Amino acid sequence: MFERFTDRARRVIVLAQSEARSLHHNYIGTEHLLLGLVKESDGVAAKALSLHGVNPEGVRQQIVAMIGEGTASEDGHIPFTPHARQVLELSLREALQLGHNYIGTEHILLGLIREGEGVGPQVLAKMDVDLSELRSTVIKLIRGNNEDQSQEEKDRAALAGGVTPKAQQTGSTLLNQFGRNLTALAAEGKLDPVVGRSTEILRVMTVLSRRTKNNPVLIGDPGVGKTAVVEGLAQKIVNQDVPETLKGKQIYTLDLGSVVSGTRYRGDFEEKLKKVVKEVQTRGNIILFIDEIHQIVGAGSSEGGSMGAGDLLKPALARGELQTIGATTTDEYRKYIEKDAALERRFQPIDVKEPSVADTVEILQGLKSRYENHHRVSYTNAALQAAAELSARYIQDRKLPDKAIDMIDEAGARLRIRRLTAPPELKQLDKELAEVQAKKQKAVEAQDFETAADLRDREDKLTKQRKEKEESWRKGEDNQEMVVTDQIIAEVVSDATGIPVNKLTEQEAHKLMNMEKVLHERVIGQDEAISAISRSIRRARVGLKDPNRPTGSFIFAGPTGVGKTELAKALAQFLFNDENALIRVDMSEFGEKYSASRLFGAPPGYVGYDEGGELTEKVRRRPFSVILFDEIEKAHPDIFNSLLQVLDDGRLTDGQGRTVDFKNTIIIMTTNIGTVNITQSQNTGFALQNSVERDYRNMRAQVVTDLKQNFRPEFLNRLDDIIVFQQLSKDQVRQIVDLQIEGLNKRMFARNMAVELTDAAKDLLTTRGFDPAMGARPLRRVIQSDIEDAISERILMEDLHDREAVLVGVDGQGDAADFTFTGQPLNEDEKSAIEKANEQPEKTLDIISVDPPKNAEDSNNSGSSQNSDDSSSQSDAQPRTVDDGPAQQPANSSDEAGSQQADGSQNEDGQSGHGADSSSDGDVSSL
């Protein structure tokens, strides 16, 4: 409805709404529109009404006398009455009849006069205003026949740029319709103060004062303050702090979108733009500010051959009849303006650099009062410093000072919302009051008037209590000073980025100090790896890490099935309580040179250029995450070259030229290099302690040697640590058995059953399920074939029943040993666990995968105990559940072959509590 309304006409609507609220009316009528017209003192309508003796106080008194004040709340949406809507529709007709393609305050007043039936016209009649004479006055003012202007208005016009009545007569209607007068806004104090841009403003004034090529164009990244430079110039013009050549100038913005809109036929756009240029030439003191000036190239042109805005402006710019200030970004200037040499030579580029953190703090100090008045809060100096520093450090895809200003604005809004939230006591009184009113209504309907009278007294008492409570709350809210501190700023930055930059709480500090213990609940053994990871996380969280490098970068090397990949998952779960924070890249899919573009984005001209890289896009969306490069040795060498700057500088440039921040990521790379030929000690059974230690030392030396042969020194030297995982011991495999059985119990609980294993049964599982070459991966298959299958058959044969616990024992010794299964009553702990499991809904988790497997073999054969040529691996398509008992999974899935987590989920490395990593036999990319 309001597309064609001028800024002043829009302000009339806002003022009308404000007046309706102040009068407690739940509608906007013609009387409120009249009040808005009178209060918008700079409009033509207000001038016409003042000539007939109409003022805001008189109109308000007449409205109160005629219809009184209402009782509606000041909150909520206020609709227009039918009469008011008709006035707005008639204003469009009046504008069209006068040949205007905009709607100003004068047209709204003419529409109100023509409507004639609402309260507004009646108010005018009460004030002895002849509507016909008022209409004539408006028409005269529109046509410029009114020469009267007060000295105060002349002074104000001179201050805003020296606009004389004659200049107004020649018309500023088009400029007002398609833009804003920045000098007038500066004179009224409606522009924010400009701090720290004196150099750029001086450069603009210098270019504007040149004889030729005096059209500056401000070039800089979005958010650095290009528009603020122009607003600063407007304020200097108002303050007479400019050279003589610029005194009396007016700066108008030109909205090309408004000029183009409504130009349906060929020639419409050219005609409108030529009128604007003619008005600028006629007045002679106008400087046009065109934001996003690159849009003039091709704007308004069509296939029919009509000229674009750039072609229309070139002659006027060449003759010096049109003076403009442009603003655009470096990329858009290069893409659009520089390609048109004839247009480019008319402009003088001025670079607007991003301010430093110190300059940003000064800018925030200058803007502080505006935001304090708006949010009714106060900002500490530490909060402003934190907004500049934290936004500069953690928000990399935007520029200062814009992102810092957004932080203090959101912090003020957050604090304001907290204060405006009603206390629980008030909400409880509202609830009780509603209940009493409902009971009273039922009593009246039942003609139980005695009860209704008691409830009425109760209602009056509650109403009084509520009023007192609300007054007390409002009074306390008004008297309470709300202060935005650096901690609140940190919370806002944390919410915006997902990076924990707020101060450490005691609970979080305790959690970090016990990080090793928590990770050991999922990953058995591997003390060195867990300790290294924990140290890097603690170092980053207290702010001591190198701010220009990733939080941590590691190579996890070791034999298959020992927990390399599982540790990465456990870390993501620890940090974010969500394994979705793990960004996983299966490097076996990036073995070709061209595949690097999938990770970082295709170069210009290639398919997928606009889509960005699969890795870079995920990190841009979630800058605080764990990145797992699985089987790093299988990637193409060109990918390692791209990772060099990630490991050293914590940043990467994608195919579109955007810098992606990796400074808050933890980079983990897994590999089997140097461990392929490592086998168990020649001792039968499990190796002796000295043999295990000797094998580990040999394996570590072999791993380091092979890594140096496969990776360049500059790549290895950028890593924080190379961690070689140890082979599992008998005791560690026994712990994995316990965790796997706990996972089986989760599924048994869903059938109202439980399973218990004797020590002998656990020992037998440990012996059968451990293969030194495959780690813990075969354990899950043994549990499935020897335990789960046997229990399933006995349930079907009704040897085992619901509400029973299955006791698994061992009969026989050595190779002749076999498992036995006996049903027995559930104990109390098992009963409560079953009830709890059946109460909770099942949840599934998926790992973020950079690229899904292309065929079944990619996703199905990685986790089994077999090598890559083993054809018996099965599908891993079943969902994994947490806490609520997972769905039954195949034996050979990569997440189950070794072990199962205590909560019932199976990890992709085959162990849960411990976790086996993906190895050369493949791996899945999602659960």
Q: What is the count of structural domains for the chain?
A: 5
Each residue's pLDDT tens digit, 45-67: 988 998 888 888 888 888 888 88
**Going by C-beta distance under 8 Å and a sequence separation of 6 or more, which residues neighbour residue 372?**
378, 379, 412
Region 145-174: mean pLDDT is 42
DSSP bridge partners of 289? 253, 325
Task: Report whether 171 contacts 144 (CB < 8 A).
Answer: yes
Each residue's pLDDT tens digit, 392-447: 888 878 889 999 999 999 999 988 887 776 677 877 888 888 888 888 888 888 88
Say how many C-beta atoms besides its own lie within 10 A of residue 428's C-beta. Answer: 12
**At 126, which CATH number?**
1.10.1780.10
Whether residues 134 and 186 share a domain: the answer is no
Q: Is residue 371 part of a domain?
A: no
d(CA 174, CA 172): 6
Residue 853: pLDDT band (50, 70, 90) is very low
Q: Is residue 633 part of a domain?
A: yes
Query: Is 644's pLDDT higher than 50?
Result: yes
Q: Is residue 903 part of a domain?
A: no
d(CA 309, CA 298): 6
DSSP bridge partners of 321? none
Whether residues 333 and 420 share a domain: the answer is no
Say how many C-beta atoms besides its own lie within 10 A of residue 495's C-beta. Answer: 12
Residue 158: pLDDT band (50, 70, 90) is very low
Alpha-carbon torsion 186, 187, 190, 192, what sign?
positive
Look up tokens 């995968």; give the residue.
849
Q: Exposed, middle or buried, 59 (CB in 10 Å: 0-12/13-18/19+)?
A: buried
Say how many C-beta atoms besides its own lie within 10 A of residue 738's C-beta. Answer: 16
Look up tokens 């193409």; give the residue.
636
Whether residues 564 and 485 share a domain: the answer is no
d(CA 61, CA 65): 6
Any idea which of 69-73, 274-278, 584-588, 597-601 has the lowest mean pLDDT? Answer: 69-73
Residue 864: pLDDT band (50, 70, 90) is very low
Task: List the one residue out of 165, 233, 168 whose CA is nearest residue 194.
Answer: 233
d(CA 326, CA 317): 13
Any idea which of 91-95, 219-223, 228-232, 602-606 has the lowest mean pLDDT? Answer: 602-606
- Domain span at residue 114 reads 2-146
In a 3-state reduction of DSSP, which class is residue 775?
strand
Per-residue pLDDT, 561: 80
**At 251, which CATH number?**
3.40.50.300
Region 330-346: mean pLDDT is 85
Counting Cα atoms < 13 Å in the Cβ hemisphere of 174 gives 20
Give the containing element (helix H, strand E) for 723.
strand 721-724
- Give percent of the chain above pLDDT 70: 79
Whether residues 204 and 133 share a domain: the answer is no
Look up tokens 């833009």; give the residue.
179
Region 695-707: mean pLDDT is 79
Residue 506: pLDDT band (50, 70, 90) is low
Query: Is 265's pLDDT higher than 80?
Result: no
In a 3-state reduction of DSSP, which class is residue 670?
strand
Whether residues 318 and 244 share a domain: the answer is yes
Query: Is 901's pLDDT higher than 50?
Result: no
Q: Is residue 183 part of a domain?
A: yes
Query: Is 563's pLDDT higher than 70?
Result: yes
Each residue's pLDDT tens digit, 224-262: 999 999 999 999 998 888 888 888 888 999 888 777 776
Each residue's pLDDT tens digit, 93-147: 888 878 787 888 999 999 999 888 888 888 888 888 888 888 888 888 887 633 4
Residue 313: pLDDT band (50, 70, 90) is confident
The residue out of 320, 336, 353 marking a domain boundary is 353
Task: List the one residue out of 852, 853, 864, 842 whose CA is nearest residue 920.
Answer: 864
**At 755, which CATH number?**
1.10.8.60
Q: Is residue 407 part of a domain?
A: yes
Per-residue pLDDT, 818: 85
Whether residues 341 and 430 share a domain: the answer is no
Task: List the one residue out of 747, 742, 703 whose CA is nearest residue 721.
Answer: 703
d(CA 815, CA 456): 86
Whether residues 197 and 342 share a domain: the answer is yes
Greater pLDDT, 157 or 365: 365
Residue 74: pLDDT band (50, 70, 90) is low
The residue out of 668, 699, 724 marking a domain boundary is 724
Per-residue pLDDT, 205: 93
Whether residues 451 and 478 share a domain: the answer is yes
Q: Is residue 242 part of a domain?
A: yes
Kindly state the DSSP code that residue 217 receives in the 8-state scheme.
E
Each residue's pLDDT tens digit, 347-396: 899 999 999 999 999 999 999 998 998 888 899 999 999 999 989 888 87
Per-residue pLDDT, 861: 39
Give the tokens for residue 33: 């529109």
Write out the E strands in 700-857: 721-724, 754-757, 804-811, 818-825, 844-845, 848-849
Whether residues 51 and 127 share a domain: the answer is yes
Greater pLDDT, 839 or 614: 614
Integer CA distances (angstroms), 290 to 174, 175, 181, 258, 350, in order: 15, 12, 12, 12, 15
Q: Is residue 642 part of a domain?
A: yes
Greater pLDDT, 641 or 388: 388
- Give percent of the chain above pLDDT 90: 12
Any idea which of 248-252, 338-342, 555-559, 900-904 has the lowest mean pLDDT? Answer: 900-904
Query: Is 159's pLDDT higher than 60?
Result: no
Residue 781: pLDDT band (50, 70, 90) is confident
Write out the E strands in 136-285: 216-219, 250-253
Whether residues 469 and 541 share a domain: the answer is no
Per-residue pLDDT, 220: 92
Q: Is residue 893 part of a domain?
A: no
Greater pLDDT, 566 or 605: 566
Kindly state the DSSP code that residue 252 receives in the 8-state scheme.
E
**Global pTM value:** 0.59
Per-residue pLDDT, 889: 39
Whether residues 563 and 697 share a domain: the answer is yes
Per-residue pLDDT, 327: 92
Q: Please, what is the average pLDDT of the chain?
A: 78
Whether residues 628 and 737 share a domain: the answer is no
Give the tokens for residue 529: 């790896």
Cα distance between the two ends of the chain: 52
Region 721-738: mean pLDDT is 82
Helix residue spans in 770-827 (DSSP H): 778-783, 789-796
Query: Is 586's pLDDT higher than 50?
Result: yes
